[in-house]
């Protein structure tokens, strides 16, 4: 059941995170939203509250361990507990390895991989103390199949998949862990790409077969909504048009 659960979402100011926050709020969840942009977070939070939901926010960068801990702490301070942590924040400045965009590589590792680990570090003790809790992490179908220009991004998402599956096994019988593998989704990820031609190619592919972020939000809700004794380990979701 979703109603009444306290859910923290990283990367909640746009895309999948924003859609998930809005959808879960309509289902009765209490939201604590995190992202770097305080103004956008405030607007997302305001819309939820104006619609009759409950939400709070804190500006964070998931690459900073103390920021993710602050998000978890805000959930406890505001609502007294944390039931679900959705590790959604991610960056995708893809490009050829020959470009040697080492700063982009480092940022992908810091956000896509370390950001998930900092979420685990912050929430796992809370979940252990409560004897309940659910980790949900957004990976990508790129974790399962890479293509040229996506080697580092795919590597970070494959790492996330491995971390989450190991976590799922370690906490089995006590807590829950779910990894979501979305395909092309209507988000602003193409804006992270420096190469103009590659960015245009991504945008064209998105126009051809990207799915709305609300579809991923519903998949996340499906995992949360299972009976306590059921854990949905993985969900792969893509548009029907995507090969």
Any idea which residues carry the catalytic annotation? 153
The DSSP line for 210-241 is PBPHHHHHHHHHHHHTS-TT----EEEE--TT
Retrieve residue 88's tokens.
Answer: 């959604």
3 state SS of 9: strand
Q: Which residues of 222-243 are buried (b: 16+ CB within 10 A; e: fewer)?
A: ebbeeeeeebbeebebbbeeee
Compute how many other C-beta atoms are within 10 angstroms of the C-beta atom of residue 109: 17
Report angle CA 163, 121, 182 to the nearest 5 degrees. 40
The DSSP line for 52-118 is T-EEEEEE--TTSHHHHHHHHHHHHHHHS---EEEE---------GGG--HHHHHHHIIIIIIHHHH
The answer to whether 7 and 32 are in contact (CB under 8 A) is yes
């Amino acid at each position: 059941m979703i109603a009444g659960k306290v859910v923290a979402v990283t990367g909640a100011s746009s895309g999948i995170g924003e859609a998930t926050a809005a959808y879960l709020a309509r289902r009765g969840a209490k939201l604590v939203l995190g992202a770097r942009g305080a103004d956008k977070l405030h607007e997302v939070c305001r819309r939820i509250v104006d619609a009759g939901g409950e939400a709070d926010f804190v500006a964070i960068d998931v690459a900073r361990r103390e920021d993710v801990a602050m998000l978890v702490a805000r959930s406890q301070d505001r609502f007294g507990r944390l039931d679900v942590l959705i590790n959604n924040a991610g960056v995708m400045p893809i490009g050829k390895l020959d470009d040697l965009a080492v700063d982009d590589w480092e940022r992908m590792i810091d956000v896509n991989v370390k950001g998930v680990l900092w979420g685990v570090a912050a929430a796992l003790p809370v979940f252990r103390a409560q004897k309940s809790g659910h980790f949900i992490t957004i990976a990508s179908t790129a974790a399962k199949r890479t293509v040229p220009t996506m080697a580092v991004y795919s590597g970070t998402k494959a790492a996330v998949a491995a971390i989450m599956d190991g976590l799922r096994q370690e906490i089995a019988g006590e807590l829950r862990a779910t990894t979501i593998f979305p395909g092309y989704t209507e988000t602003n990820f193409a804006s992270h790409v420096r190469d103009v031609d590659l960015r245009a190619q991504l945008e064209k592919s998105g126009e051809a077969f990207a799915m709305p972020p609300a579809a991923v939000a519903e998949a996340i809700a499906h995992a949360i909504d299972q009976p306590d004794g059921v854990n949905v380990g993985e969900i792969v979701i893509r548009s029907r048009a995507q090969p």
